[in-house]
Amino acid sequence: MNLTEKIARDIRVVLQTLEYPEVPIVIEIPPEPKLGDRSCTIALALAKPLKRKPRDIAETIAAALPQLENGYRVEIASPGFLNFFFSDEIYHALLKEALDIGAEYGSSQLGLGEKRLFEYVSANPTGPMNIVSARAAAIGDSLVKLQRKAGFDAYSEFYVNDTGKQVKLLGESVRARAAEVQGGIAEIPEGGYHGDYIIDLATAALAEMGDQVKVISDEELGRWSADKIMATQRTILQEYGVEFDRWYRESELYDAKMPQKTLEKLRSAGHIYEEDGATYFRSSDFGDDEDRVVVTSDGRPTYYLPDIAYHLDKAERGFKKAIDLLGPDHHGHGKRMQAAMRALALGDDFLEIIIVQQVNLMRAGIPVRMSKRAGEIVSMKELLDEVGADAAKQIFLSRRWSSHLDFDIEAAKDRSERSPVFYLQYAHARICSIFCKADGRAYNTDHLNRINTEEERNLLRSLSIFPDVVASAAMQYAPNRVNSYLNELATVFSQFYHHCRVITEDDGLTSARLAMCRAVQIVLKEGLRLLGMSAPEKM
RNA sequence: GCGCCCGUAGCUCAACGGAUAGAGCAUCGGCCUUCUAAGCCGAGGGUUCCGGGUUCGAGCCCCGGCGGGCGUACCA
């Protein structure tokens, strides 16, 4: 039962009966409980086409709605809002349902089982992951969970660029450091990697391969190093609580000759030409600013070709939509990929690009200067070790992905005792504690009529909103809405907690209030799960 | 130059095109003999960068500025 849909259905029927023009029906949550449990602005939207006053239209619609028999009453507020107030019976039924289905509460079939693939992080295996990766990981992971809850068949992938020029450079850098470890001088190549982790890799390579390090090719050494880095990335992400359904290696594409096949496909469609010895894709025919090289004049494919192949493969594996989370430094890439998708006739809405904006790392208000060249970066691992996964995720997931956010390490740590994530977890732990204190007294729904304070009613209202929040967060890729909602729920619960004693001599009232607590516990736990955060039972 | 993103309270950020623009932090003042005070109650704090436009209604959409960030490779 979805209360919002119920109202939308009733309004739709009324609009048809009255033969009003078809306009989208939008149901909202009023800004405060006094204004009702749900509201609709349909009368405002109909004012123009009907050439009548919004208030008159609202009254006509209200009169035609099956209010009492469907468990609500309607008030009209200026300039023409239809405000819906649910009956106690409706709320009690909803509470019973939530208790009955538990963690399934809030799930829906909006996605109709559509197969979707989320690709995120996809950090190059040439160095430590940075803070933007941590942000993307938190968002991507939550999006997949949200979309699954909303009925999509959603999956996650981490694409690994384990071939190409950068990997060769990685190999050269490691070789240089290996020479240094053995007492020589490190001659790190132009554009190579300087970080200390290269020394660690060199040491590990020497330990594992001995003098073989000197004779294998740059590519082989680079590939070996990339594998090590990739394994580390996987471990760090696991500790962060983010697991991928698949790590898809660029080299797998080559093994399956997919870049070549993709090139031929584009060529036979007439989108490929040669110039100055290089092979170009005519991407400007499909919205790109200029044509792009897909094979260089010395015969190497650029990153672009296998990436097109990868996306073609996503479509061929049956995904109806591919959603890529990209860093701000790759936003130019989006246009190119869209151009390729069009050239391959995959449709304009197959690929959706989400640019996860940058993170300005601060420490006590002072920007932390990050220089990749000098290897002076705060890695994702260092960040997580310092502030903790839950606190970091909370910061990332309380903002829209499009916001350029300031992440203050000291603030994240200093406030850790009173941080927003603790507020949510505390509410959950507090409920667990109540059930401990209840000492075997169970909740039940036989005495819900004992629920009648303002705080209790606000709590029911908040609980009823959860399915709407999940749906909108999933459809609009907005995990931050779940975070906002959970904060609101925790606040309303705290108010309830302070005004309504749960465990009393009154068995009927106790059982009803325990039922409320259980429902809040279910939603808090499920909400935290959707955000990838833990829900401790004790704090 | 061109392209993308951002500009909201002292700070960090919210706000499906809707009602009096909200939270947290910070500041100030109350509340622990009662289920977790990591909490609750209250106060102060705003020209939503500026100027036009669309709309019954704009922080949100469109145009033009200003400011900041990023991108503009035969790197990824």
Q: What is the pLDDT of residues A451-501, one digit of tens each?
A: 999 999 999 999 999 999 999 999 999 999 999 999 999 999 999 999 999
CATH topology of domain A3-86: Gyrase A; domain 2 (3.30.1360)
Q: Fold identical between A3-86 and A418-530?
A: no
> Does the C-beta of A503 come within 7 A of strand B?
yes
Per-residue confidence at A414, pLDDT binned at 50, 70, 90? Answer: confident
Helices (H), A18-116: 42-50, 54-64, 88-101
Please report how many Cα atoms fall inside a 13 Å half-sphere around the Cα of residue A12, on the Cβ side: 10
CA distance linking residue A184 with residue A226, whole number of Å: 24
Q: Does position A348 have pLDDT exceeding 90, yes or no?
A: no
Per-residue confidence at A191, pLDDT binned at 50, 70, 90? Answer: confident
* Chain B bases near protein CB atoms (7 A cut-off): 2-7, 11-16, 18-19, 22-25, 34-36, 38-41, 55-57, 68-76
CA A421 / C1′ B63 distance in Å: 42
CA distance linking residue A2 with residue A4, whole number of Å: 6
Cα angle: A455, vertex A458, A463; to 5 degrees: 125
CA A134 / C1′ B15 distance in Å: 25
Q: What pLDDT, on the 0 to 100 scale, is given for residue A74?
A: 97
CA A422 / C1′ B26 distance in Å: 19
| Nucleotide closest in space to A326 (CA vs C1') | B76
CATH architecture of A115-163+243-355: 3-Layer(aba) Sandwich (3.40)
Q: Three-state SS across A460-508?
A: HHHHHHHHHHHHHHHHCCCHHHHHHHHHHHHHHHHHHHHHCCCCCCCHH
Strand order in the sheet with A351-355: A246-249, A153-160, A115-119, A321-326, A351-355
> Does the C-beta of A44 come within 7 A of strand B?
yes
> Does the C-beta of A429 come within 7 A of strand B?
yes
Average pLDDT over residues A397-424: 89
Residues 91-110 of A with CB under 7 A from strand B: none
CA A496 / C1′ B40 distance in Å: 10
> Does the C-beta of A298 come within 7 A of strand B?
yes
Average pLDDT over residues A179-190: 90
Domain ranges for chain A: 3-86, 115-163+243-355, 165-240, 418-530
CA distance linking residue A539 with residue A528, whole number of Å: 16
Q: Which residue has the higher pLDDT, A524 or A415?
A: A524
> Does the C-beta of A274 come within 7 A of strand B?
no
Q: What pLDDT, on the 0 to 100 scale, is given for residue A370?
A: 61
Locate A362 and state its tokens.
Answer: 């601060």
CA A403 / C1′ B5 distance in Å: 8
Average pLDDT over residues A114-118: 98
CA distance linking residue A18 with residue A10, whole number of Å: 12
Average pLDDT over residues A210-231: 94
> Does the C-beta of A357 come within 7 A of strand B?
yes
| Nucleotide closest in space to A276 (CA vs C1') | B74
> Does the C-beta of A329 come within 7 A of strand B?
yes
Q: Does position A539 have pLDDT exceeding 70, yes or no?
A: yes
> Does the C-beta of A233 come within 7 A of strand B?
no
CA distance linking residue A525 with residue A478, whole number of Å: 19
CA distance linking residue A25 with residue A48, whole number of Å: 15
CA distance linking residue A408 with residue A391, whole number of Å: 12
Q: What is the pLDDT of residues A70-97, one digit of tens each?
A: 999 999 998 899 999 999 999 999 999 9
Q: Does position A345 have pLDDT exceeding 60, yes or no?
A: yes
Rg over CA atoms, chain A? 28
Are A114 and A318 contacting, i.e. CB atoms less than 8 angstroms apart? no
Which 3 state secondary structure label does DSSP give A159? Answer: strand
Residues 377-396 of A with CB under 7 A from strand B: none
Q: Does position A229 have pLDDT exceeding 80, yes or no?
A: yes
For A40-49, A97-106, A185-194, A321-330, which range has the lowest pLDDT when averaged over its residues?
A185-194
Q: What is the pLDDT of residues A363-378, one digit of tens each?
A: 888 888 765 544 456 8
Amino acid sitting at position A220: E
- Top mean pLDDT of A22-26, A332-336, A390-394 is at A390-394
Q: What pLDDT, on the 0 to 100 scale, is given for residue A270?
A: 95
> Does the C-beta of A83 come within 7 A of strand B?
yes
Residues 177-216 of A with CB under 7 A from strand B: none
CA A491 / C1′ B40 distance in Å: 10
Average pLDDT over residues A151-169: 95
Complex ipTM, two decimals? 0.96
Average pLDDT over residues A199-218: 94
CA A419 / C1′ B40 distance in Å: 17
Are A171 and A222 contacting, i.e. CB atoms less than 8 angstroms apart? yes
CA A328 / C1′ B69 distance in Å: 10
> Does the C-beta of A455 come within 7 A of strand B?
no
Q: Does position A227 have pLDDT exceeding 70, yes or no?
A: yes
Residues 359-378 of A with CB under 7 A from strand B: 360
User: With left for phi above 0 and alpha for psi between -120 and 50, is residue A56 left, alpha or beta?
Assistant: alpha
CA A516 / C1′ B52 distance in Å: 53
Q: What pLDDT, on the 0 to 100 scale, is given for residue A367?
A: 85
Domain A418-530 in CATH 1.10.730.10? The answer is: yes
Instruction: Tell me the CA distances in angstroms from A456 to A445, A449, A516, A523, one per residue in order.
Output: 14, 11, 8, 16
CA distance linking residue A40 with residue A249, whole number of Å: 49
Locate A191 and state its tokens.
Answer: 């554009």
Residue nearest B13 (alpha carbon to C1'): A399
CA A362 / C1′ B1 distance in Å: 33
> Does the C-beta of A300 come within 7 A of strand B?
yes
CA A172 / C1′ B45 distance in Å: 58
CA distance linking residue A254 with residue A305, whole number of Å: 11
Q: What pLDDT, on the 0 to 100 scale, is given for residue A22?
A: 83
CA distance linking residue A48 with residue A58, whole number of Å: 13
CA A363 / C1′ B27 distance in Å: 22
Q: Does position A183 have pLDDT exceeding 80, yes or no?
A: yes
Q: What is the dihedral of CA A462, A467, A468, A473, to 10 degrees?
A: 110
Q: What pLDDT, on the 0 to 100 scale, is given for residue A373?
A: 47
Q: What pLDDT, on the 0 to 100 scale, is given for residue A371?
A: 54
